[in-house]
Amino acid sequence: MNDLDLDTRIRAAAPHVSTPLGVADHGARILHEARARRARGLRIWTASVAASVVLVGGGTVAVAGNGLQTPWGWTADNVYQFPGPNGQTCFAGLVVKPDGVADDAEVVVVAREFVAGLDLDTLDTSKRLAELEADNNQPFDDGSPGILHNTPEDIAQSAVHETVADLMYAELEDRGLSTSHEQGSVSLFSQAQGCQ
């Protein structure tokens, strides 16, 4: 056997490896899944009934989030996109985290369900966007030297985050769930890393 035959046999015996999805493809897939998730209310209701039956029957059900795995290794409660520099599309995820309460506390579950149910593509952020743009390139409020400067992308992301946070805390108060630090609360985190 010569080197050419050996090399051919080794290549034929090697496993076939698929190339990993790029972050842009991953982000597009997550956004597509988020849109599809909004349209599957009946399936969620059916799964909830099935989970209730299992729980009543003495079994256990593990809940690991709504399946919107981000490229950064955490599961988002909701995702959105916003225009970035040079016509790029920026991807961001929102996640509700417990702060001083158990992960399955009622306030956390209600906050996660509320954030997951929002349609962030149609969310009106114009009021908060105007406030953030007015504060941009202005001196710091505390008298520190320098000015506050945020990019348009930072302002767009902050407007969505702060609008969702305001709506979430208002919903928790309307339902009579305390968000004070004495009785436990939730926090809303947002993350975007670069634009694809």
Structural domain boundaries enclosing 47: 19-191
In a domain, 36, yes or no: yes
Bridging pattern class, strands 89-99 and 185-191: antiparallel
DSSP 8-class letter at 94: E
In a domain, 11, yes or no: no
Q: 66 pLDDT exceeds 80? A: no
Report how far apart, in Å, the C-alpha atoms of 55 and of each of 36, 79, 89, 170 are: 27, 30, 42, 31
- Determine contact, residues 160/92, Cβ cutoff 8 Å: yes
Kind plus residue range of the DSSP H or E element containing 69? strand 68-69
- Residue length, the chain? 196
Question: How high is the pLDDT of residue 157?
Answer: 86
In a domain, 4, yes or no: no
Q: 42 pLDDT exceeds 90? A: no
Q: 77 pLDDT exceeds 70? A: yes
Question: Residue 157 is encoded by which pair of tokens?
Answer: 């992301």
Could you read off the pLDDT of 131-143 as tens digits, one per residue?
Answer: 989 888 888 778 7
Could you read off the pLDDT of 100-121 as tens digits, one per residue?
Answer: 888 888 989 999 999 999 998 8
Strand partners, 188: 96
In a domain, 41, yes or no: yes
In a domain, 12, yes or no: no
- The structural domain count of the chain equals 1
| Predicted TM-score of the model (pTM) | 0.61
Question: How high is the pLDDT of residue 164?
Answer: 93
In a domain, 184, yes or no: yes
